[in-house]
Copies of this chain bind each other. A is one copy, B any other.
Amino acid sequence: MTSLSTVHDERIDDVIDRCRHLVHPALRSVTDRLHPRTGLMTRYSFGWCDADGEFHADVREGTGKGIRQVLAVLAAEAVGGRGQDAVPAAVTAELVHAFSLVHDDVMDHDERRRHRPTLWKTYGIGPAVLAGDVLLTLAIETAAHSTGEHAPQALTLLCGCLRALMHGQTEDLDFEDRPWRGPGAVTAAEYRAMAVNKTGALLGMSAAMGALLAGGSPRHVEAFDTAGREVGLAFQIMDDVLGIWGDPARTGKPVGSDLRRRKKTLPVLRALERDGPAARRLAELLAGPDALTNTQVARATELIEDGGGRALVTGEGHAALRRARETLASLPLHPRAGAELTALAHYLIERSH
């Protein structure tokens, strides 16, 4: 599939850097106006400083890739606008992302993210809930006040995204209480719908709002939203793959952490749906109420692979990516930005290989 991309990984790093430098001053300035205490927490959540507020010389240390801001900027350029036009969309998207990570880590009781303690682990649950609320409020302010004539539609995109995000998070929490198999079991289809809501909606909004602010047509805006959702599904699937088979040094999470705490992810659900001897042994391993031991995690990992879980979901991830590409291929796009978007999507998925 790499033959379809004309932009190589080294170039993608340059694209990510370019977009980050375009957006960073605006993102930085919205956090500067806060109470010192929430200001510190929001900067920590972006990976710009350590727990005491000391600044990192390299702003990239501890940060994510900032994929959502890249999507906004590239979508603006792809519809023939300037990357600069998309900055409020990029800021909104990164704020929503930071909000969702901070609150999700509280909900999931995750203690580490990006090789550092999570926000609640560092500052406590109460302050982390508040920091998330502040990030969400800043996102709303940005969409309402910095998107000019496009504000009503930008807010519609934002509200739709938030609703999907929370619906997805609710489904994710709901899945925890449902069985692996039998009546009421979580199906792979339900899982995919959750992933589109929880991960895809924000990627879709990032690109769609970027295109909107750069004067893209309604057809462009809708296509970017749809394509972003597909990329989000692919991304979530590959995140699940990394959660089981990823290198902890790269993921920043302990190996097998999803399995250890018996989190329902697509590779497991798909392996269970195959219903062979591997699936039955896997179901037995996952049936207990307690966290899995190291040995059980290793055994479950083998059974998921033997049961075809890894191959099936990798195929599904690539299919979602293909649908995203086809959605965009039907529209006139600026060639360079279009190629960079395609390369970015591949880059997101390929990181697990």
A-to-B contact residues, CB < 8 Å? 34-35, 37-38, 103, 106-109, 125-127, 129-130, 132-134, 136-137, 140-141, 144-145, 151-152, 155-156, 158-159, 162-163, 166-167, 169-171, 173-174
Contact = CB atoms under 8 A, between A and B. Distances in A.
Contact of A162 (B108, B140, B173): B140
A173 B125 CA distance: 12
Contact of A170 (B35, B151, B159, B174): B35
A162 B139 CA distance: 12
Contacts of A151: 152
**Nearest 8 Cβ contacts at the A-B interface:** A107-B126, A35-B170, A144-B155, A137-B162, A141-B159, A134-B166, A38-B170, A37-B170
Contacts of A159: 137, 140-141, 144-145
A173 B108 contact: no
Contact of A133 (B127, B136, B156): B136
- Copies of this chain: 2
A126 to B, nearest CB: 4
B126 A173 contact: yes
B130 A167 contact: no
Contacts of A155: 140, 144-145, 155
Contacts of A158: 140
A59 B156 CA distance: 32
A204 to B, nearest CB: 17
Given A126-B108, A173-B130, A137 B163 contact: yes
Contacts of A126: 106-109, 173
Contacts of A163: 137, 141
